[in-house]
Structure 1
């Protein structure tokens, strides 16, 4: 099984290109800085790994529109390796994550407004429960709201 789950911050804005042909396909490339969980015998002082990702089609278009440098995202996908010969005739090996799913890992406000996403309507907000209630942590709903709930 080839399955990868990552959470990290974009090191730069995604680089997006479109394929040639009748139906062009968005190809977004970006790099994630993923913190290392443990720091055992870390000789070079590096605390993060920088992982190249590539997203195709609608995922690529989404990355182009909403992802910006510093945005914290979660990615699932698969590892793909490859190789090519560079201009000097040397063989270069590549490893990248082919993105199957990607999503924001924090709210826009948590990153100082740098997440790049602005929905058409704000998320619903609820007042914090006051201490004069039962103290069970649940919000007190007004009477008569039962008809508006989508379940019984």
Structure 2
């Protein structure tokens, strides 16, 4: 058995970029930043590391992201890692590793109108209105949508609780 599953909660570092194809399909590329912070044991200073991720959303899921996400939006993405090979203009092989998302939850509570007080709208690659889903079927459990992230989730890096503030994020 093997598992290829990625879960990210981060913020967009740029506006979503979409492309449509002649066959009717489309993709949306996102750049998502995730950060971890910890207190240095020797100096006692707060340290932080930001990791940037390339995320690809296809078809309806990408269209939703293009319409509702913006630079700085917080988002939950679930998907898988994929490396693709392509050739540059000089004919040399290049490799790009990216996350192909199949579920997305918008975590910002912004947005006009409504009944979304918990802050979050769930979408999957099937669009939510049909039984089609691009994810492999799981054999056990009925897990269909991500649960909202709780403040206690995630590893403890010795920071003593939520010691990051939105003002610390550079976008």
Residue of structure 2 in register with 1:34 after alignment: 34
Higher radius of gyration, 1 or 2: 1
1:90 shift after superposition: 2.6
List structure 1 runs of 4+ shifted beyond 4 angstroms.
37-40
Structure 2 counterpart of 1:19, from 9, 18, 21:
21
SS in 2 for 1:36: strand
Q: How many pairs align?
A: 110
Consecutive unaligned residues in structure 1, runs of 5 or more? 109-116, 125-152
TM, length-normalised to structure 2: 0.58
TM-score by length of 1: 0.64
Contact 2:33 2:51 in 1 (8 A): yes
Change in CA separation of 1:25 and 1:74 when aligned onto 2, cut-off 3 Å: same
C-alpha displacement at 1:39, in angstroms?
7.5
Q: CA deviation at 1:92?
A: 1.4
| CA shift in 2, pair 1:122/1:93, >3 Å | same
d(CA) in 1 for partners of 2:52, 2:76: 14
Consecutive unaligned residues of structure 2, counting only runs of 5 or more, are 41-46, 118-171
Aligned to 1:118: 112
